[in-house]
Amino acid sequence: MDITVQEFKHCDMITVKGRVDSATAPQLAQALESANDGGKYKLVVNMSDLEYMSSAGFRALLAAQRNCKRYNRGEVVLASVPERIREALELAGFTELFKTFDDPLQAVGHF
């Protein structure tokens, strides 16, 4: 798994590549937390090159969404969610908790 962070004027984009499972999810959680620690609560998680995500990744996203939405200060949105991952998120009832965008820049434009 590989994570890069890009700063935009109104949000940060966190691009996650590869596979997120119980071994790698802590790194994703860490990246989301450090954005929050830096006062960034409007976050796009770009999944265009994500191959796999287990519930360990879902949990990291959920924790971040809770923290970002507190005091109405922001939110986490998902961009370019691959089909298999979207199906699993849907099964877990997570698609109602996150706005999703087909394109990362469209997601950036949301903020």
The residues binding other proteins (CB under 8 A) are 19, 21-23, 52, 54-56, 58-59, 62-63, 65-66, 69, 84, 87-88, 91-93, 97
What residue type is assigned to position 3 of the chain? I
Cα 87 from Cα 93, distance rounded (Å): 10
Q: How far is the CB of 97 from other proteins (least distance, A)?
A: 6
Of 3 and 63, which CB lies nearer to other proteins in the complex structure?
63
Based on CB atoms, which residue is closest to other proteins, 73 or 109?
73
Q: Smallest distance, Å, CB 42 to other proteins?
A: 16
Q: Name 17's Cβ contacts closer than 8 Å, sequence gap at least 6.
A: 1, 2, 3, 4, 49, 50
Q: Residue 10 or 66: which CB sits closer to other proteins?
A: 66
Helices (H), 52-94: 55-69, 83-91
Nearer to other proteins, 52 or 111 (CB): 52
Dist. CA 91–CA 6, nearest whole Å? 30
Least distance from C-beta 7 to other proteins, angstroms?
A: 25
CB of 106 to other proteins, least distance (A): 23
Structure letter (DSSP) for residue 62: H
